[in-house]
Amino acid sequence: MRCPWALSTPDYVTYHDEEWGRPVHGDDALFERLSLEAFQSGLSWITILRRREGFRAAFAGFEIAKVATFTDTDRDRLLTDEGIIRNRAKIDATLANARALADWTPGDLDELIWSHAPDPVTRPAPKTLADVPAVTPESTALSKALKKRGLRFVGPTTAYALMQACGLVDDHLETCVARSAP
């Protein structure tokens, strides 16, 4: 059995089984996930998932150091790139976030994000999708910490989606084959 949201397309099945909820570490990898979650805001995840390779190509593999050097010419290129979501505010936020993160000490993003992981012992396995929150106190705190450090498009719902995607929380339903062992 799998989480019901993962059953509608083969893309979702693969993402669910191989990636969602598994621990992600490394500043560039977390920057990618944070950026994609921001682009997903207001859209379905499948839209982002199916354009992921386009995003990676457009944003230099989400290498913070490279994206931080993007110019106005790069921004104009991104605004016309049909392989990504061409939302000006989200593109600007991604570029601004890379510039802010470029000033951080390597490992700081990883450390900051993972410092907001709740104790898994205190989180019972969700029985139904209705048991899965959209926002938690930890995601609200993470959002505030990221904003305080200069990041944009990182509200509490986006922060919680990041926490789910990157394994800070295990929101696979209790009957799901991908659920972590207690």
Q: Residues forming the annotated binding site?
A: 3, 16, 172, 176
- Annotation says 45 is catalytic: yes
Q: Residues forming the annotated binding site for Zn(2+)?
A: 3, 16, 172, 176
**E strand residue ranges, the chain:** none
Single out the catalytic residue among 15, 19, 104, 114.
Answer: 15
- Annotation says 15 is catalytic: yes
DSSP assignments along 18-42, one per residue: HTTTS---SHHHHHHHHHHHHHHTT
Single out the catalytic residue among 12, 20, 32, 37.
Answer: 37
Q: Pick the closest to residue 114 from 151, 64, 169 (CA basis).
A: 169
- Annotation says 114 is catalytic: no
Longest dimension (CA), the chain: 50
Provide the annotated active-site residues: 15, 37, 45
